[in-house]
């Protein structure tokens, strides 16, 4: 197994199933020594792994992904226990993406890390050639989120391994065994020790950063993300930090209301709203707000909540998250928001119904802070410009969407949004597209997941120069008046003043003779 499972003297990780609150088997936390050992073994295996041709690395990962896809029922059963994800949610979140996302990443990484020849000016750099290689950094530490304990790893683990790195994963303490299942399935097809899983909470995440990793990929809260970024900076290692979101849907008067209601419903409630790219705010033009809210409420009250296998909403992933949702809803109502539907737990497990709050204002937690639950705050706005201003001054800057029939206007407004992902008539699906960057601004952080823009976390560029010249370069020491004249002629050549250009080869040959004579024994 890839996980560090040796018993330790540290307190165990205790969890309950969100569906029925039954206790789950405790999981041992890794000690600092176990974490350091996992990093050391990964480094040893990585030294051989990075020497394998890209296609061999890709084929090994394809075998692992095929195995996980075939065994998806195992993962779905574990994630049902740990996070309460019901059948359809678990299938699309954690069961379906293994092979598809890997193949996407192969297409992104292969051309990006190929050796690239760089043309050098033959006059300034005669006899020389150069190329750039992409060198794997070594061992990547991945501090994983709980909301997508498998799918949330695709963005870091697949590109890291394809680039030739080793990986040590610290799962969330809320979903340790789901992530361990993924790590073990990878480890079964890869060199021993290359991928490891170490369990714990923030203390073990900090220990992983201090254990000698060469880069860190983190997804989580702003407070923890800032601490991770600062520690990585102190250690001089690259980090990619994603710290959440508070995405808004801008709903314009001319939108297709049926499609808009369906789209907002899905992207607000998928994974029970426990997604950094979930729609948490609807910025709705005032004179269509009553109709839109009524349509949303009509749909949301018909959605099925509860432990039925194919229910629309699973429970919240943990009690702490339920407490945040309760606090945000209570704060909004106390400050004057109108509760349209939902608003109270069902009484079973950690289930919470789809909740709409109308007439929300920017002083409310449900508008200002990340709720991470099945709650939509409706803010009535005075036109598109007002909505764009609100998005751009918000605390987070991950994504936003514009819902309108006028695609040209929607695209123009998207260009004005200060976010990482701006969508017109859809939302957040780009998280499943490996070729498109997933990033943000402000408190979302500056980390980039997906696309070639994310690869700087996993590789560093190395320049290789080959000089086939038989003699010295004309600009080498010793310096003299002739060298100054050569520089003067080169300046004129850049300015296209070519009247004296005929002298340049003569002077360069003279310089070479001078240098050879100087160094001749």
Which residue among 276, 285, 360, 370 is the active-site one? 276
> Alpha-carbon distance 318 to 339, whole Å?
24
Residue with tokens 């983190």: 218
33 catalytic residue (yes or no) = no
Q: What is the 3-state secondary structure (H, E, C) of 260-271?
A: HHHHHHHHHHHH
- Supply the angle between the helices 54-70 and 176-187 in degrees, to the nearest 10: 130
Which residue is it, tokens 């598809």? 100
Question: Of the residues 82, 189, 242, 370, which is catalytic?
Answer: 242
Secondary element (H or E) of residue 366:
helix 365-368
Phi first, then psi, for residue 427 (nearest 5°) are -160, 135
* Residues sharing a CB contact under 8 Å with residue 432, sequence separation 6 or more, in sequence order: 97, 101
Q: For residue 516, give both structure tokens.
A: 């050879």
> CA quadruple 189, 193, 196, 198: dihedral positive or negative?
positive
**Structure tokens that stand for 77 in this block:** 């059963």
How many Cα atoms occupy the beta-carbon half-sphere of 374 within 13 Å? 31
- Helices 176-187, 72-83: crossing angle, 10 deg rounding: 160
Question: To 10 degrees, the CA torsion angle through 151, 429, 328, 387?
Answer: 150
Distance CA 447, CA 441 (A): 9
Rounded Cα gap, residues 299 and 384, in angstroms: 25
CA 333, 337, 338 angle in degrees (round to 5)? 95
Closest listed residue to residue 375, CA positions, set 423, 316, 311, 319 = 316
DSSP E strand stretches across 101-208: 116-118, 128-136, 139-143, 166-170, 195-197
Instruction: Look up 341 and say whether it is catalytic.
Output: no
Token reading at 502: 């005929």
3-class state of residue 483 by DSSP: helix
Q: Which residues are catalytic?
A: 242, 276
């Amino acid at each position: 197994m890839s996980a560090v499972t040796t018993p330790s003297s540290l307190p165990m990780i205790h969890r309950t199933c969100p569906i029925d609150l039954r206790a789950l088997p405790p999981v041992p936390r890794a000690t600092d020594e176990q974490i350091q050992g996992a990093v050391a073994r990964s480094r040893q295996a990585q030294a051989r792994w990075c020497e394998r041709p890209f296609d061999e690395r890709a084929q090994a990962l394809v075998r692992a992904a095929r195995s996980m896809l075939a065994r998806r029922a195992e993962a779905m059963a574990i994630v049902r226990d740990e996070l309460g994800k019901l059948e359809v949610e678990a299938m699309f979140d954690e069961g379906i993406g293994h092979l598809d996302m890997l193949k996407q990443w192969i297409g992104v990484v292969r051309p990006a890390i190929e050796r690239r020849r760089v043309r050098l000016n033959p006059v300034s750099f005669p006899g020389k050639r150069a190329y750039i290689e992409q060198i794997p950094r070594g061992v990547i530490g991945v501090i994983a989120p709980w909301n997508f304990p498998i799918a949330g790893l695709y963005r870091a683990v697949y590109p890291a391994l394809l680039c030739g790195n080793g990986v040590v994963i610290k799962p969330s303490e809320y979903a340790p065994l789901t992530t361990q299942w993924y790590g073990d399935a990878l480890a079964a097809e890869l060199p021993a020790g290359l991928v490891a899983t170490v369990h714990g909470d923030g203390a073990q995440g900090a220990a992983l950063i201090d254990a000698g990793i060469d880069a860190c990929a983190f997804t989580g809260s702003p407070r923890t993300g800032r601490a991770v970024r600062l520690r990585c900076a102190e250690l001089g290692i690259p980090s990619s930090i994603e710290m959440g979101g508070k995405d808004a849907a801008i709903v314009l008067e001319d939108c297709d209301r049926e499609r808009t209601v369906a789209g907002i419903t899905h992207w607000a409630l998928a994974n029970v709203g426990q997604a950094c790219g979930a729609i948490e705010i609807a910025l709705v033009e005032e004179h269509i707000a009553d109709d839109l809210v009524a349509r949303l409420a009509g749909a949301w009250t018909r959605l099925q909540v509860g432990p039925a296998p194919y229910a629309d909403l699973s429970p919240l992933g943990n009690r702490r998250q339920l407490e945040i949702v309760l606090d945000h809803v209570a704060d909004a109502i106390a400050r004057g928001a109108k509760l349209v539907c939902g608003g109270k737990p069902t009484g079973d497990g950690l289930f919470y119904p789809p909740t709409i709050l109308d007439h929300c204002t920017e002083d409310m937690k449900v508008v200002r802070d990340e709720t991470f639950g099945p709650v939509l705050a409706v803010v009535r706005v005075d036109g598109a410009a007002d909505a764009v201003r609100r998005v751009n001054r918000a605390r987070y800057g991950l994504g936003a969407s514009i819902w309108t029939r006028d695609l040209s206007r929607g695209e123009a407004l998207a260009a004005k949004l200060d976010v990482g992902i701006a969508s017109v008539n859809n939302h957040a699906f780009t998280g499943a597209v490996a070729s498109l960057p997933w990033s943000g601004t402000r408190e979302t952080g500056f980390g980039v997941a997906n696309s070639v823009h994310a690869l700087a976390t996993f590789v560093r560029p190395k320049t290789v120069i080959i000089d086939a010249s038989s003699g010295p370069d004309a600009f080498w020491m010793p310096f003299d008046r002739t060298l100054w004249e050569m520089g003067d002629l080169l300046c004129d050549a850049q300015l296209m003043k070519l009247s004296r250009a005929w002298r340049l080869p003569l002077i360069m040959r003279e310089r070479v003779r001078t240098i050879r004579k100087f160094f001749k024994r």
